[in-house]
């Protein structure tokens, strides 16, 4: 079940990556809901996504 939430979160973040405001909001929600080891995986995913979309870099503050 938890893995499904992680995969769902990744798909949502990909879909909203066109809008930094939506991306930040979804990233904030994800960091509250995911398990600690999933948060670490999500950080790697988000940093990769930011390389493709530099305008999302302001959202890295939520990766703490």
How would you write the pLDDT of the chain (64 residues) with one tens digit per residue?
A: 668 999 999 999 999 999 999 999 999 999 999 999 999 999 999 999 999 999 999 999 999 8
Q: 34, 39, 44, 46: which is closest to 64 by C-alpha? A: 39
Q: Are the beta carbons of 5 and 13 closer than 8 angstroms?
A: no
Helix H or strand E segment including 58 = none
Per-residue model confidence (pLDDT) at position 61:
96
Per-residue model confidence (pLDDT) at position 2:
61
Q: 5, 12, 59: which is closest to 37 by C-alpha? A: 5
pTM for this prediction? 0.90
CA pair distance 36, 32, nearest whole angstrom? 10
């Amino acid at each position: 079940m938890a893995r499904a939430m992680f995969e769902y979160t990744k798909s949502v973040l990909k879909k909203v990556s066109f809008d930094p405001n939506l991306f930040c909001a979804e990233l904030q929600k994800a960091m509250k809901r995911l398990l600690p080891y999933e948060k670490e995986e999500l950080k790697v995913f988000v940093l990769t996504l930011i390389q493709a979309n530099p305008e999302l870099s302001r959202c890295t503050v939520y990766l703490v």
